[in-house]
Amino acid sequence: MNIILIDKKELSENRVVLTDYRAKHIVKILKSEIGDCLRLGVINGDIGEATVTAVQRKFPFLVELSVELVAEATPRPVVDLLLALPRPIMLRRVLSQVTALGVGTIYLVNANRVEKSFWDAGLLEEKEYRPHLIHGLEQAVDTLLPNIRIHRRFRPFVEDVLPHLASQYSHLLLAHPLEEKKLSHCLDNCSTERVLYAVGPEGGWVDFEVEKLLAAGMQSFSLGARILKVDTAVVAIHSRISQELERQSER
């Protein structure tokens, strides 16, 4: 945890009292004393500093902080993710990892090779997935929660929703093993605004889905011959896109 994140409604006249995992972290890991300064942010809000004004070091842990917000949140990341719903244990990790890397919106969609049981996972309720997003923000020192959009049916999403979304993006990218075009060619020589990238299920998209995604405006590229698991692919493609965007921003 590299920043303490709080809800705005927890703040009362620049004071906040923590009694949950954050209090435990401040007591047991940071071993903070009264007067110590911590980095603190308001979820979807500003970043600042907190001074420890009271601490209960034994269970039940309690930490009181005096908060001064000094800086605005970092801007919304320019990369969004379209992800075929993975199994819950993998989704948890992907949510916190891609949030740490920086993502604006995550679209969770169905696909032929998504097991039906994945849709029954409680993880798809906001109160269940939110802690994994928070975990990613706490790691990366950010306050801006990604948006989560859930589409339980592939065809209405790809036919009705995605073509409408496409106008928001300068690039819509789909890794595809049969494509020869490299990512650098897809992102080269053009002003990049927002980028959406798609990662399929274990086993990949079926042909029909690839056709539909391309018809909706996505562009395919090759990630090379090595086949990656979903969690590796989500981080790897995000990082490759970020590297290209960083290079372009330096021109």
Q: What are the residues binding a copy of itself (CB under 8 A)?
A: 2, 74, 97, 100-102, 139-142, 182-184, 224-229, 231-232, 235-240, 242-244, 246-247, 250
The nearest distance, CB 204 to a copy of itself, in angstroms, is 11
Let me know: does 67 contact 11? Beta carbons within 8 Å: yes
C-beta contacts of 32-37 below 8 A and 24+ residues apart: 32/63
Min dist. Cβ of residue 137 to a copy of itself (A): 10
Whichever of 51 and 242 has its CB closer to a copy of itself, that residue is 242
Q: Which is nearer to a copy of itself, 209 or 231 (CB)?
A: 231
Minimum CB distance to a copy of itself, residue 228 (Å): 6
Q: Which is nearer to a copy of itself, 72 or 125 (CB)?
A: 72
Shortest CB 70 distance to a copy of itself, Å? 16
Q: Which is nearer to a copy of itself, 3 or 161 (CB)?
A: 3
Q: Which is nearer to a copy of itself, 101 or 162 (CB)?
A: 101
Q: Least distance (Å) from a copy of itself to the CB of residue 180?
A: 12
